[in-house]
């Protein structure tokens, strides 16, 4: 049983119907930044399920399909007669035209990237904007005629019909993507829709989330005990502090040293919670169990599931110490869910996260996941509101499976020791250079490749270390960080000279997509 407090507690919400766009999650995050709660559901949601969500507005996402193609995604609900304002984005605009009597055809010139939107009307959706604004296009089809009752409110050089509306039916549509960063006034456009048109009060923020979550946690838990799976990362730490605020000593924090942690990580976690939060943490040494089960396993999905299962097995054993324990809390985030299981729409499964797809079907504890519908930046805002120190809030993400997914191939204790030393040097040099807070995530990877080197007068045959640093907002997309050459030189020099077992360092300059942030 999973618990998601964000979606259960807020009275005003925008529902986003997912038609498979790579940007769907960004729409939700941008609407939330305006101060309005938004959640994503599949385009095939039933009328009953949509009614139960009681949305104040509906946004139709973009998508890769052509509306006129066989098998194109069409909503199960007549969203245009649902009784709330509708905004169609890209595919959503084409769906409006196709279903309501307009026409959509393959464009003679496909349009991808920046374009200048010429605004024909600034009375509602484009209120506060000037005569033109930069937008981001990504489409191969275009709307060639609009349905009766609609009017054009924006166009570009390549798209005569780029924005439309029917004020009587409260339907708007845009061909561009207001949610992406390159649509410079996209956030204003989304705010105009959710606040001015839909009438939502912009009151969803970290403080209101905490109040609602604390109430829901108390109601659900009652007198029961909650075990918190404390990894020491930002997500599980903020979850632990939130739970402690809600239920106090009914919370039992357990940290399992999997043997897959960074250098000194487990000892630092115990000390930090004792010193900064006056919370006790049970430390379980599970290194032997994890390494034994992972021995000889190279497949990354098998690694993740073994790690997930081992965590749960050890938690089940530890839970017997607490007779009141009925719940297990985790810091699962929305991107974890979206990437792991396609529960919200036609998004592809990318990888299994250890705290989502790796869990056994049957558990002795019920799950509480208060951040299951939150993005990383939202969790950080919650952490700040709870008084967690800034130096900790700004820590880079660290994956639940730890260093196991930063050693492609089979795991050994020797490889882990080598990687721990290299990773510590890498992060130390980034901090020294004052770059740490400019980077979303930085880490070292020990590659399953050995290369020839020369140290002194001797030939070496040792491992390659990859170093990775990316910039991102929510982890859904990321670009490689343009590390200064002098910093890279120091990093490479120190790792090769100080870490026995590495004789070559390479820098990863892949973006996400097409790559993922982690290597496995």
Decide if 179 is catalytic. Answer: yes
Under 8 Å between Cβ of 37 and 13? yes
Beta bridge partners of 256: 284
Under 8 Å between Cβ of 478 and 511? yes
Out of 41, 139, 142, 177, the active site residue is 177
Decide if 458 is catalytic. Answer: no
Please state the length of the chain: 520
The sign one gets for the Cα dihedral 205, 210, 215, 220 is positive
Rounded Cα gap, residues 393 and 389, in angstroms: 6
What dihedral angle (degrees, nearest 10) is formed by the CA atoms of 170, 171, 174, 179? 70
Out of 10, 33, 90, 252, the active site residue is 90
Q: Residue 401 to residues 45, 256, 422: CA-CA distances in angstroms?
A: 33, 12, 18
Could you give the residue ranges of the DSSP H alpha helices within 199-299?
A: 206-221, 234-247, 265-276, 287-294
DSSP code of 193? I
Query: Judging by DSSP bridges, how do beta strands 281-285 and 86-89 pair with one another?
Result: unpaired
Beta bridge partners of 337: none
Out of 12, 39, 179, 185, the active site residue is 179
Instruction: For residue 174, give the nearest of 115, 239, 250, 234 by alpha carbon.
Output: 115
Decide if 255 is catalytic. Answer: no
Under 8 Å between Cβ of 244 and 277? yes
Catalytic residues: 90, 177, 179
């Amino acid at each position: 049983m999973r618990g998601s407090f964000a979606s259960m507690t807020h009275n005003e919400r925008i529902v986003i119907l997912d038609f498979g766009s790579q940007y769907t999650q960004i729409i939700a995050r941008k609407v939330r930044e305006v101060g309005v709660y938004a959640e994503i559901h599949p385009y095939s949601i039933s009328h009953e399920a949509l009614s139960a969500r009681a949305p104040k507005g509906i946004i139709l996402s973009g998508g890769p399909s052509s509306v006129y193609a066989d098998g194109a995604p069409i909503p199960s609900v007549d969203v245009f007669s649902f009784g709330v304002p509708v905004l169609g984005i890209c595919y959503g605009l084409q769906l409006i035209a196709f279903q309501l009597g307009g026409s959509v055809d393959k464009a003679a010139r496909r349009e991808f990237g920046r374009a200048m939107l010429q605004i024909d009307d600034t009375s509602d959706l484009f209120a506060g904007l000037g005569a033109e604004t930069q937008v981001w296009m990504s489409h191969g089809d275009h709307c060639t005629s609009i349905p009766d009752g609609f009017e054009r409110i924006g166009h570009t050089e390549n798209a005569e019909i780029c924005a439309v509306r029917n004020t009587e039916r409260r339907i708007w549509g845009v061909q561009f993507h207001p949610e992406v960063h390159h649509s410079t006034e996209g956030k204003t456009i989304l705010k105009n829709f959710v606040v001015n048109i839909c009438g939502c009060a912009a009151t969803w923020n970290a403080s209101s989330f905490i109040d609602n979550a604390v109430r829901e946690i108390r109601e659900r838990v009652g007198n029961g005990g909650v075990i918190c799976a404390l990894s020491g990362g930002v997500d599980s730490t903020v979850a632990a502090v939130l739970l402690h605020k809600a239920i106090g000593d009914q919370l039992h924090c357990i940290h399992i040293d999997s043997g897959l942690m960074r250098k000194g990580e487990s000892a630092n976690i115990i000390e930090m919670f004792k010193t900064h939060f006056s919370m006790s943490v049970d430390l379980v040494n599970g290194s032997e169990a994890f390494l034994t089960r992972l021995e000889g396993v190279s497949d990354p999905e098998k690694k993740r599931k073994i790690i997930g299962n081992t965590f749960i097995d050890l938690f089940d054993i530890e839970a017997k110490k607490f007779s009141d324990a009925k719940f297990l809390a985790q810091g699962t985030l929305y991107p974890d869910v979206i990437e792991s299981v396609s529960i919200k729409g036609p998004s592809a499964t990318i990888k299994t996260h250890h705290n989502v797809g790796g869990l056994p079907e049957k558990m002795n504890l019920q799950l509480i996941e208060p951040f299951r519908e939150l993005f990383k930046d939202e969790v950080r805002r919650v952490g700040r509101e709870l008084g967690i120190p800034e130096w900790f809030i700004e820590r880079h993400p660290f994956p639940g499976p730890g260093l196991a997914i930063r050693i492609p191939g089979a795991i050994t204790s020797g490889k882990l020791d080598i990687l721990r030393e290299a990773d510590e040097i890498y992060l130390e040099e980034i901090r020294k250079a004052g770059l740490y807070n400019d980077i979303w995530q930085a880490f070292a990877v020990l590659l399953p490749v050995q290369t020839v080197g020369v140290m002194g007068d001797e030939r070496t045959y040792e491992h390659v270390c990859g170093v990775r640093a990316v910039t991102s907002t929510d982890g859904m997309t990321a670009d490689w960080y343009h590390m200064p050459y002098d910093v890279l030189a120091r990093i490479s020099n120190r790792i090769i000279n100080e870490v026995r077992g590495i004789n070559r360092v390479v820098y990863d300059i892949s973006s996400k997509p097409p790559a993922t942030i982690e290597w496995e």
